Amino acid sequence: MEAADLKGAVHYNYNDLQLATNNFGEENILGKGGFGEVFKATLDDKNIVAVKKLHVQHGRVKEDFENEVKLISDIHHRNLLRLLGWSREGSDLFLVLEYMPNGSLDQFLWGSKRGTLDWNQRYEIIFGIARGLAHLHNEFHVKIIHRDIKSNNILLTDDFKPKIADFGLARFLPEDETHVITKFAGTLGYTAPEYALQGVLSDKVDTYSFGVVILEIISGRRSTEVTSDKSTSDYLLEHAWKSYEKKVHMEFIDVTLDLNQHQQEHVMKIIEIALLCTQSPVTKRPTMSEVVLMLQDGQSLGKKELTRPTYVHNHERRIHIGSSKNFVAANTICKNPKQILEANGKLRSERADAKVNVLEEEMNVAKIL
């Protein structure tokens, strides 16, 4: 890979990055993942950046690296993490990115900083993510689908403004296409069922993931976490639906939040929007531009009716459709996806023969920014 291959992206001198990170010393590590580490770096003794170091032992790393550089080097939006440039040394590849002093959102929801975000901050984070996705989908000169929206891919500025990060899996959607058929790549627990089951990729896949992230922000729970109530074993999306259906949404809200009556009503509307984002089929989901308007106006769903969402369980590998009594085991998906689709009319598709590649959890792409 030569500099000419990554036209438009700034090339950084490896020696400068080595010096700025104190030879990539342990004391400068911000995070680690299966493909490498992220380091805090100080350039010219004043400019602080993040340097993502990627090891190319895995074949897909180089592809993801080049994809990220080419795709977002020209994107500038307040809610998208800016790529400053790239470098390489031997078999190692480097992305130079904006430095986010508050790290990733997940640390504030269930990590070491849990309970430090109030409702206004959480709402602004939800709104900012929505604006970033709307820009990718509708306001850039091409439609870009992120494909891996999740809480640890949302970074926070020093004043808790969100920036969507990690575009290694992102891809263009051709202007004249509503969707494409592709292999699944992402994180189970956040991904839309039509994408995990059939490989049908559209901008509504990001909408679904965004809905799940909203529910994480409101509840302070992981999407794959099971409720602590011994009488049930509901995952987050199912718990959200039952709370909404029974009108006991306060049981769903993060216990660290102290909400007044007005805020409780606001949260209920946001939960409705999240559930709308996770509806199936995809035609029931709003575009991200529509979501921005709903969030901005504080409006409820109006005449739109919600139905029980379809959700993909991570640990059990089960895809639940419409009812907790009606499920198919995901380990069967890889064996005979067409049979499953035909057996379940709600997911019937003329593209049933599309190749399905549901990745096991331990093989999910490791994300460290």
| Residue stretches of the annotated binding site | 53, 153, 166
| Residue stretches of the annotated binding site for ATP | 53
Cα 344 to chain centroid distance, Å, stands at: 27
**H/E stretch holding 19:** helix 14-20
| Cβ atoms within 10 Å of 40's Cβ, excluding its own | 17
CB 109 within 8 A of CB 156: no
Cα angle at 71 between 70 and 75, to 5 degrees? 115
Closest among 208, 224, 213, 219 to 276, alpha carbons compared: 208
Cis amide bond preceding 281, omega within 30:
yes
In DSSP notation, 304-329 reads PPP-PPPEE-SSS-EEE-SSTT-EEE
Cα 202 to chain centroid distance, Å, stands at: 14
CB 101 within 8 A of CB 157: yes
| Residue stretches of the annotated binding site for Mg(2+) | 153, 166
Q: Is 27 helix (H, G, I), strand (E, B) or coil?
A: helix
CA distances from residue 176 to 172, 173, 230, 359 in whole angstroms, order as listed: 12, 8, 50, 29
Cα Dmax for the chain: 62
CB 146 within 8 A of CB 206: yes
Q: Output the six-digit token pair for 80.
A: 């998208």
Q: Is 254 helix (H, G, I), strand (E, B) or coil?
A: coil
Q: Output the six-digit token pair for 70.
A: 């080419």
Query: Letter for the amino acid at 164?
Result: I
Given 106, 148, 206, 254, which residue is catalytic? 148
148 in catalytic set: yes
Q: Which residues are catalytic?
A: 148
